Structure 1
């Protein structure tokens, strides 16, 4: 993970994450009848791509943002109540009407523990997450990958803590002019592991398409 050094160019390169954020916002709107919340908590707000969508779609009294990195200088155009800086797996989650997160939770080490913690502080939990098979071109060639979960496994965990779980999956493909452009795109969005790869393996990478596997979840009690 190399986000901290890439936030200044993240928005210009995070077109897949922006598509996912837009779809997640629509997915929440479809499943949630409420348009007014007293409080919202976002896990992993980053530069505020998803935050911008949800703040324009709902009325709320306050929104609390969190990120592993201190990204407040990228959030100057977003009105928020508080920013909780730190690892969501170790910091306290505030009691709110809804917890949301876009394209973040694939980084979580103990997903079950986090969902349990979230469920104790809200009755609504909505998020998007990259799943098994994401960036398969990179894994096939470099043998580098996060421990992506299957959508079914995620849903099983969610049903332990929430009564209703609605879900949807999506496959997105992004094409590039050259294999190097594909690798540069990943580097510019902070998703890298290529420091461990040899120069010869980088040069021999031949794919010009990257595949993204995404799942969307809306949970309620």
Structure 2
């Protein structure tokens, strides 16, 4: 996870401006929630707080706790509790806490997802809400084809099996959103500025990579968002 943490920390100044798809996903997750008031909200993978600000604006709550693997505490107001730890190790850091909304966007695809869904159920009371944005198997397939590198994305059926029977699924669906760029180099820069790809920072980008993206994929990157809204059984 340290490689992932470093990628996002290095892109912290540019992420807000360039994370177009992630912002679309954030808005959709909030609209899908079955209610807008919660006692205690837990947002993990909060980063510098882009989604957090939307949560504050659109929801009401008694307490908001945010988490990230990097130390972004200075980005959050004093009334928001910020906890720095690897969400894969949540059981080591949160003891006997219940959150009636657990929410995150564009984070779980980086995790050991089987372990995550096993652990997270322990921190939600009955009827608590789980609201997640992730990415599916076709996400950035252009980059996977060109570089032979990709995250291990899951299908809707796989998510369904991870959720049941602990969670009643309220919404589980996917969409594909293409992003086109003026040049292939702009497309790769976009990935670097958002920290959202699986390439190492020193990945040797070649003319062949750029040429293939231009000639085969017309300087387009395809995002494959998945939306998960579930209620604890």
| TM-score relative to the length of structure 2 | 0.85
- Match of 1:120? 122
Runs of 4+ in 1 over 4 A off after TM superposition: none
Residues 100-119 of structure 1 correspond to what in structure 2 (within 5 A)? 100-109=103-112, 111-119=113-121
- Match of 2:87? 88
Deviates more, 1:84-93 or 1:97-106: 84-93
User: Which of the residues 9, 15, 35 maps onto 1:4?
Assistant: 9
C-alpha separation in 2, matches of 1:80 and 1:173 = 38
C-alpha separation in 2, matches of 1:97 and 1:191 = 28
Structure 1 residues 181 and 175: CA distance shift in structure 2, 3 A:
same
User: Which of the residues 102, 117, 121 maps onto 1:99?
Assistant: 102
Question: Aligned Cα RMSD in Å?
Answer: 1.7
Give a deviation string over 1:139-183, Cα, whole Å, max 9, x none: 011111111111221121111321344212111111110111000
- Match of 1:71? 72
| Unmatched tracts of structure 2, length 5 or more | none
| Unmatched tracts of structure 1, length 5 or more | none
C-alpha separation in 1, matches of 2:14 and 2:142 = 23
Q: How many residues align?
A: 214
Q: Is contact 2:76-2:82 (8 Å) kept?
A: no
Residues 37-186 of structure 1 correspond to what in structure 2 (within 5 A)? 37-76=38-77, 80-91=79-90, 92-93=93-94, 94-109=97-112, 111-122=113-124, 123-186=128-191
